[in-house]
Amino acid sequence: MKILIIEDETDLLEAMVDYLTSEGIICETALTYFKAEDSLSVYSYDMIILDLTLPGGNGLDLIKLIKERNSSAGLLIVSARNSLNDKLTGLDLGADDYITKPFHLAELNSRIKSLARRRFFEGKNELTFNEIKINPDSFEVTVNGEIIDLTRKEYDILLYFMVNRDRVITRESIAEHIWGDNSTFADNFDFIYSHIKNIRKKIEQKKGTNYLHNIYGIGYKFCEK
C-alpha cells in the first residue's frame, strides 16, 4: 500500500512515517501545500493522510484536488482544530475519516487499516493471526474455527491489537480507543485490565494461545512471543 502523508510538522511526519513504514506501508511525504499539489498531480496513491492546517493554503482545498486526481484513494484527515465544522466539511467533500491531534500512532494505524479494509477488500477482509480470525464485517471472532463470544469493547480491543501486532500498545491508547476522547473513564485502566483478562480467558477456552503479553505494566503487546 502506498500512501501520501501531507503534514507540515517535520517531527510528527517522521514519527508517522517510521511507524507506518514498519507496518509495511510505503510512505511518501509532503511538507507544504505546493509540494502536495505536485505529488498529487504526478503520482497516484492508495491512501492520503492530510493535515488541514498547512502553510501555503487551506487543506480543505486540497481535498477537491485529491478527489479530481486520485478519486480512488482513501482520505484520512488530520487536524489540530478538532472543529466539528471542519470535520463535517471534510467529510462532505469526500474524506473518509477524521482524526484529531494529538493521536496515538496505533490509533492512526488502526484507522488506516480499517479504511483500507473498507475500500480495497470490499468486505472480504478477514484478519488472521495463527488460529485467531476476525471478520470485521460480521464482528465475528473465531479461534481454531470456533466462534468466541466477545463483548463489543473486547472485540474492539482485540481488533486494535490484531491491527497493531508486534507493538507495545499503551493502556492510554487502548483507553482512548474504546472510551473516546472526552470520557470520564479514559483515565481508568482497571477496566482495560479486566477486558484483557476476559479476552485471554475466552481465547484460551477454545485452546488458543495467549498472544497478549504484558509489557512492564505500561501496556500490552500482541505477538508470537
| Ramachandran bin of 213, using left for φ above 0, alpha for ψ from -120 to 50, beta for the remaining angles | beta
Q: What would you measure as the largest C-alpha separation in the chain, in angstroms?
A: 57
Please, are residues 156 and 142 in contact by the beta-carbon 8 Å criterion? Answer: no
One of 2, 101, 197, 207 touching other proteins (CB under 8 A):
101
- Nearer Cβ to other proteins, position 21 or 44? 21
For residue 122, how many other CB atoms are within 10 A of its CB?
A: 9
Site membership for other proteins, residue 89 (CB under 8 A): no
Nearest to 169 by CA among 98, 82, 101, 110: 110
Interacting residues with other proteins between 120 and 159 (CB under 8 A): 151-153
- Nearer Cβ to other proteins, position 104 or 117? 104
One of 124, 145, 149, 182 touching other proteins (CB under 8 A):
182
One of 68, 92, 187, 224 touching other proteins (CB under 8 A):
187
- Would you report the helix, strand and coil content of the chain in percent, each value rounded to 5? 40, 25, 35
- Interaction site with other proteins (CB under 8 A): 9, 11-12, 15-16, 18-19, 80-85, 88, 100-106, 151-153, 167-168, 170, 172-173, 176, 181-188, 190-191, 194-195, 215-219
